[in-house]
Amino acid sequence: MFKNKLGGKLTLELDDAELGVLLQLFEQMSVLLEDPENESGADPLAKMLNMSGSTQISEDPALARLFPDGYSDDEHASADFRRFTEQDLRSQKIAALTTVTETLKEWPGKTSVTPEQAQDWLKALNDLRLVLGTRLEITDSSDRDLDPEDPGMHLYNYLTYLQGTLIDTLT
């Protein structure tokens, strides 16, 4: 968990099991975020101007949650919004995951986290919780009974706790 130490130093302490689970989860998120578009045939000018993104919302509910419609009432505006923003947003999410994964791979058991790394941790944990929550069908007005003993719920609650400790140390 994240803790504030003397002098405002932010630290992260995990045991081996937590480290292994988080590494697996963040690596799976990286795979999920890989660009599905084949860039080999992309228009070079469109690619250079960051206009080569998809215009369709993903059929995967988790990706649709991470890259939602910009304009739910206007299909054409939503397609344009997605084309101009999704690639950049995807890159930002992957960069945050890379920072977090590198932090974990160089793990000594307890490590300091810079303010910049903390922001990447917040982004990566939030995205991971969104994906897991979508897979578990957690909504604000969830009709279905969520089994508190479901391993997925335990994982979701752990990620929520971890994110909460980070927010608490930053405020």
Inside any domain, residue 74: no
Residue 13 domain-assigned? yes
User: Does residue 9 belong to any structural domain of this protein?
Assistant: yes
Any residues with CB less than 8 A from the CB of 125 and at least 6 apart, and which? 159, 162, 163, 166
Q: Is residue 43 part of a domain?
A: no
List the chain pLDDT tens, one digit each, 171 residues: 888 877 777 888 888 899 999 999 999 999 999 866 544 455 566 555 555 556 677 778 888 888 887 777 888 888 888 777 788 888 999 999 999 998 888 777 667 888 889 999 999 999 999 999 999 888 776 555 667 778 888 999 999 999 999 999 988
Answer yes or no: is 145 within a domain: yes
Q: Does residue 42 fall inside a structural domain?
A: no
* Domain ranges, residue 98: 2-37+89-170
In terms of Cα–Cα distance, which of 131, 13, 116 is closest to 63? 131
- For the chain, what is the domain count? 1
Q: Name the residue among 40, 30, 43, 37 with its Cα closest to residue 56.
A: 37
Residue 150 dihedral angles phi and psi, to the nearest 5°: -65, 130
What value does the CA radius of gyration of the chain take, rounded to a whole number of Å?
18
- Long-range contacts formed by 106-110: CB under 8 A, 24+ apart: 107/14, 107/19, 109/13, 109/14, 110/11, 110/12, 110/13
